[in-house]
Every structure is written in C-alpha cells, then in structure tokens.
Amino acid sequence: MKILLTHGYFLEEDKVEQNIMMPYPPQGLLHLNAYLTKQGISSTVFDTTFSSFKELTSFFKEHRPEIIGIYCNMVTRINIVKIIRYIRQEESLEKSIIILGGPDVRQHNVNYLKAGADFCVTGEGEETMLELIMNLEARIKDVSGIKGITYKGAGVDSISNPERPFIKNIDDLPFPDFDRVSLTDYFSAWKNKHGYTSMTISTMRGCPYFCKWCSKAVYGNSYRRRSPEKVVIELSRLVEQYHPDQFWFVDDVFTLSKSWLKEFLHHSRQNKLKIRYECITRADKMDEETVELLKDSGCFKVWIGGESGSQKMLDRMDRRVTAGQVREMIITSKKAGIGTGTFLMLGYPGETRQDIDETVRHLKTSKPDQYTLTLAYPIKGTAFYMEVSASIRMPVFNNFGDYSDRDLDFQRTYKPAFYWHAIRYVHHEMEAFNQKPYVKRISPFFIKHKLIAAMSRFIMSFYNPL
Ligand code: B12
Ligand code: SF4
C-alpha cells in the first residue's frame, strides 16, 4: 500500500515563527518512518513546514496514497481538520485511509473521527502503526486486537481498544532519517536568520513529574532513556552527514539522571564527539557538578523551567521545585559560562499582583540571559484543565477544528485585559533593568521602558480580583 506521513504545520502561515525562525523537522514522523522502514514497510514523508496546503493537496491528488498518517498537536488541529475534510470530499482519494497520531489525539479522538478520520493512534506510534498497516494490507477488517487505537464502530461514534504498553527498550528503535525531509530548507532558514544551523535529537521518552499544566498525552509519566552510547553514535552520524552547528535535545528533563550525563560525557570523549547543544531541565535536577558535566559535554545554553517566581504559585502548579533552586541554578550555570533561559507564565489560577511582582524580582535576582513569558492556557487532559474546566469560555467559533486549546480562556484572578498590561509590565520592567548600567539613568531606552512599565503597573492596580 502507498503510505504517506505528513503534518499540518505551514511556516508561511506562522507570522510569529517567521520572525523567530527556528524551524525543526517533525521528529515524530521521522521516528515513525524509520521504524516502518526497518520493518520493511516503505512510507513517504511530506513535510508541510516549507510547503502549503495547495502543494499538499496536489501531492495527494498526484500520488493517491492509500494510507495517510497525520501528526496532530493542539495548534495544528485547525489545519488537520481542514486536510481531513479535503481528503473526504476529493473523489480521487475516496479509498484513502486516514490515521492520526500525536499529542492532540488522545483527548479529541471522537472529534477527529467525526471530522472524517478512520483511526486515531494514542500514545507511542511505532508498534501501533505497524500493526494497523499490516492489518490493512492483509484486508483484515477486525481491528479489535490492535492496542492503542480508536475507530468508528457499528452504531457507535467510537471504540477505543486498550492502551498499548510503552516500548520497553527505546534503544531498539532506529535513528530517524533526516534525508526524508529537505534539511537544506531548514538549514537555509537558520543560516539566513541566525548565521548558524541547528538540529534536534531525542534521547528520552516521558517525564516522571506532575506539573499540572503539562500535557502528557503521548509518553505519560513513563521515563525511558536511550543509552548514552547510542545517543553518541547518532550524534556522530548526524555531525558527519549534515555538519549542524548545534543541537537541541528535545528531552523534557535533560539532566534527570546525573549518571546518564556522566556516561554521555565519557562516550562523547571516547568518540571524540564535539558538539554545541542546548537543552531543557529542572533546577532540582541540577547542582554544581551537573553544570560542569553540561559544560564539558558541549552545552552552551540550558533552559531551566521557572514558571513563576512565587513559591505559592509553584506549589499550586505542583512543580516540586523551589523558586530559590531555580535562581541558584541560573546563577550557577551563568558563572560556569553556560547561557541560561527560563520559561515563565502569567495568569495561572490563584496568581495575584503580588505573585507577578515576585516573578519580576525573581528575574532581577537571577538575571537569565533569556526568558519567555506565556499567558497560561489549559490543555485538555491536564490537571490544570480539570481545575478550571467549569469556568472555561469557549471561543466564539466553537466547532472542533476552529480553535486550539491556546484560544481557551477561563475565569482568572482578574479580567482578561489585566494580563495584557501585566505582560507589558514584566517585559518593559525587564528591558529597563537589562540596560547597561552606565547608560541606565540617561538612556532614552531606559526611560521609555521604565515609563511604559510604570504606566502598566499603575493600570494593573485598578483591577481587583474577580
Ligand atoms: C520539540 C517540541 C516542539 C518544537 C517542535 C519542533 C518540531 N518540528 O519537531 C517547537 C518548539 C516548534 C514546539 C512548539 C510548540 N509546542 Co511543542 N513540543 C516539543 C517537544 C518538547 C518534543 C517533541 C518531539 O520531538 N518528541 C519526540 C517525538 C519522537 O515524539 P512525538 O512527536 O510525540 O511522536 C510520537 C507520537 O506522538 C506518535 N506520532 C507522531 N506523529 C504521528 C503520526 C501518526 C500517523 C501516528 C500514528 C503516530 C504519530 O509516534 C511518535 C513516536 O512514538 C514536546 C514534548 C515531548 N516530550 O514530546 C512538546 C509538545 C509536543 N509541544 C506542545 C505544545 C503545546 C507546543 C506549542 C503549542 C507551544 C506554544 N505555546 O507555542 C507549539 C506549537 C507549535 C506548532 N505550531 O505546531 C505540547 C503539545 C500538547 C498537545 N496536546 O498538543 C507538548 C506535548 C509539550 C507539553 N508537554 O505540553 N514544540
Ligand atoms: S513541565 Fe517538564 S518537568 Fe513538569 S511534567 Fe512537564 S515535562 Fe515534566
């Protein structure tokens, strides 16, 4: 059977990313493709990132794939539904079977089936996709024995088979093949914007923590890790084949295991692997020794989950880390010469003006090189979503396929407009703070930022908790 794997992210539609310009190939599809190839099943990857809806549909019409596998996340949902509807109304694709996978599927499988998909694969995709394809190729209609799928049943909207257990040894999985996408397009985009190139690699699946807002739809709370030897072999091949200037480890908590990191460094040295990389981790899984290991193995930037400078908020999120630990590890990493970034969010339930002030103080004390600030949004399936579900306001166009979870609003501490000013306040306060000391008091930039920050903070004071 002709099998096509694709997704629904089009860079041309994403104005924000066009400005940031740090695109990466779709790892999930490449992992799936590599696994199927190893099992003797050939599949084509159509990477939509640098393409368009029109090009994708022309490809469909020209090649008429019998199986179309699509990766779905909450943001691309809108395009995925559009793609499904297109396939369903296109006569030449009448026989195409649509299989969906990825993080958005678990909570919305019934909606995706209603939109026209045939199968939804929850969790890890490799083994389920293989079994499903083998069934379809053998024209076996009974799929009741295939774990991890949801499908339409006679007289019912959906039937969900039991969950598939996680793959025990992820070292057995083949390396993704980046030749299946146009890496040249990715590298050109990076080079033009930043002057260097970057690639991703995944070494772990799952995370054993319980942060209430985090979606665990694919890998749950499992923690499985590839051996450092295998990771070094994959990295060495990628360096030899593609010569990227740096890597991003897409792992949830890169420093979760210190012994893994030690072995990783050991094997990197043994194989004379020299890379530059950035990674994400938690402050409670770091100490001075970890920072040294990061540095010695090539880490140039560590992103440390921060979320809030207020301990009250961290506890409400069930982060299981202290704001002090986060500050300490940002400072320690900087001292060791590693760049630092931290993620912050505003508008989590229970957050007050005082908590936002604490977040600003937290940033001023730890001085990370970079931070991101997001207005908290509840992803379906998370504990955060459950907590606020009674007050969730659906977007005006609330048909599935018209909105993503990012568009969901709920009753926060203050009215929505408050957060517009709060985000402005944090950004401008920090811009002013980050001006070089000698120009601080006279620079027009400093004065501008300070004025906007003061005005925003002043306006914030007029809002009372609802
Ligand atoms: C890397 C990453 C990104 C990169 C993506 C780069 C790229 N092109 O790969 C960037 C920075 C762009 C990004 C952005 C966002 N991300 Co992100 N990201 C991740 C991260 C850390 C790793 C993804 C990854 O590569 N995993 C490794 C691969 C192998 O796993 P996988 O993709 O899940 O694939 C497996 C299965 O899903 C399945 N599968 C995948 N595709 C298919 C297709 C078929 C047909 C089948 C059957 C199965 C299948 O099989 C695969 C192998 O088992 C995950 C967290 C995580 N640990 O997974 C979050 C995650 C996917 N991101 C998330 C979010 C929320 C976002 C943003 C919305 C954030 C924001 N506010 O902007 C944006 C959305 C961007 C967009 N427009 O699509 C959420 C998704 C939640 C959800 N329910 O949809 C996650 C799960 C983080 C979290 N825990 O909350 N992200
Ligand atoms: S936010 Fe990070 S540490 Fe927390 S559960 Fe998600 S992946 Fe794990």
Atom of ligand 2 nearest to the CA of 280: 2
Atom of ligand 2 nearest to the CA of 319: 4
Residues with CB under 6 A from ligand 2: 207, 209, 211, 214, 252-253, 282, 305
Residue 30 CB less than 6 A away from ligand 1: no
Residue to substitute in 29, 75, 131, 221 for testing ligand 1 pocket (most ligand atoms within 8 angstroms of CB): 75
Give the percent of the chain with pLDDT over 70: 99
Residue 75 CB less than 6 A away from ligand 1: yes
Res 396: pLDDT: 66
Backbone angles phi, psi at 455, to 5 degrees: -65, -45
Residue to substitute in 207, 279, 348 for testing ligand 2 pocket (most ligand atoms within 8 angstroms of CB): 207
Q: What is the mean pLDDT of the chain?
A: 96
Distance between Cα 3 and ligand 1 center (Å): 22
Cα–Cα distance measured from residue 269 to residue 284, given in angstroms and rounded to the nearest whole number: 27
Res 159: pLDDT: 97
Res 264: pLDDT: 98
Cα–Cα distance measured from residue 433 to residue 426, given in angstroms and rounded to the nearest whole number: 10
Residue 298 CB less than 6 A away from ligand 1: no
Sort strands 44-46 and 277-281 into parallel, antiparallel or unpaired.
Answer: unpaired
Phi-psi region of 195 (alpha: psi -120 to 50; beta: other; left: phi over 0): left
Distance between Cα 282 and ligand 1 center (Å): 19
Q: Please name which ligand lies nearest the alpha carbon of 216.
A: 1
| Helix, strand, or coil (residue 98) | strand
Residue nearest to atom 31 of ligand 1 (CA): 28
Cα–Cα distance measured from residue 70 to residue 62, given in angstroms and rounded to the nearest whole number: 18
Cα–Cα distance measured from residue 26 to residue 34, given in angstroms and rounded to the nearest whole number: 13
Sheet holding 246-249, edge to edge: 198-201, 246-249, 277-281, 299-307, 339-346, 370-375
Residue 198 CB less than 6 A away from ligand 1: no
Cα–Cα distance measured from residue 246 to residue 239, given in angstroms and rounded to the nearest whole number: 9
Atom of ligand 2 nearest to the CA of 207: 8
Cα–Cα distance measured from residue 187 to residue 193, given in angstroms and rounded to the nearest whole number: 10
Residue 45 CB less than 6 A away from ligand 1: no
| Helix, strand, or coil (residue 414) | coil
Res 397: pLDDT: 65
CB neighbours of 433 closer than 8 A, spacing ≥ 6? Answer: 363, 364
Distance between Cα 207 and ligand 2 center (Å): 6
Confidence of residue 451 (pLDDT cuts 50, 70, 90): very high
Spatial CA neighbour of 382 closest among 323, 326, 318: 318
Sort strands 3-6 and 119-121 into parallel, antiparallel or unpaired.
Answer: unpaired
Sort strands 156-160 and 149-153 into parallel, antiparallel or unpaired.
Answer: antiparallel
Q: What is the arithmetic mean of pLDDT over 177-189?
A: 98
Residue to substitute in 41, 71, 251 for testing ligand 1 pocket (most ligand atoms within 8 angstroms of CB): 71
pLDDT digit string, tens, across residues 25-45:
999 999 999 999 999 999 999
Res 133: pLDDT: 98
Q: Please name which ligand lies nearest the alpha carbon of 383.
A: 2
Atom of ligand 1 nearest to the CA of 70: 45
Q: What is the arithmetic mean of pLDDT over 303-318?
A: 98
Evaluate if residue 408 carries a pLDDT over 90: no
Give the percent of the chain with pLDDT over 90: 92
Q: In terms of C-beta distances under 8 Å and separation of at least 24 residues, what long-range contacts does 156-160 make, across chains too? A: 157/110, 157/113, 157/114, 158/109, 158/110, 158/113, 160/109, 160/122
Distance between Cα 462 and ligand 1 center (Å): 39
Res 436: pLDDT: 77
- Exposed/middle/buried for residue 105 (C-beta within 10 Å: 0-12, 13-18, 19+): buried
pTM for this entry: 0.96
Written as six digits, the tokens of 275 are 């890379």
Distance between Cα 175 and ligand 2 center (Å): 25
Q: What angle do CA 347, 349, 353 make, to 5 degrees?
A: 55
Distance between Cα 72 and ligand 1 center (Å): 8
Residue type for 221, please?
A: N
pLDDT digit string, tens, across residues 263-278:
999 999 999 999 999 9
Q: Which helix (H) or strand (E) holds 158?
A: strand 156-160
pLDDT digit string, tens, across residues 431-446:
999 987 776 777 888 9
Residue 32 CB less than 6 A away from ligand 1: yes
Residue 65 CB less than 6 A away from ligand 1: no
Atom of ligand 2 nearest to the CA of 252: 7
Res 442: pLDDT: 78
Written as six digits, the tokens of 174 are 């083949």
pLDDT digit string, tens, across residues 101-121:
999 999 999 999 999 999 999
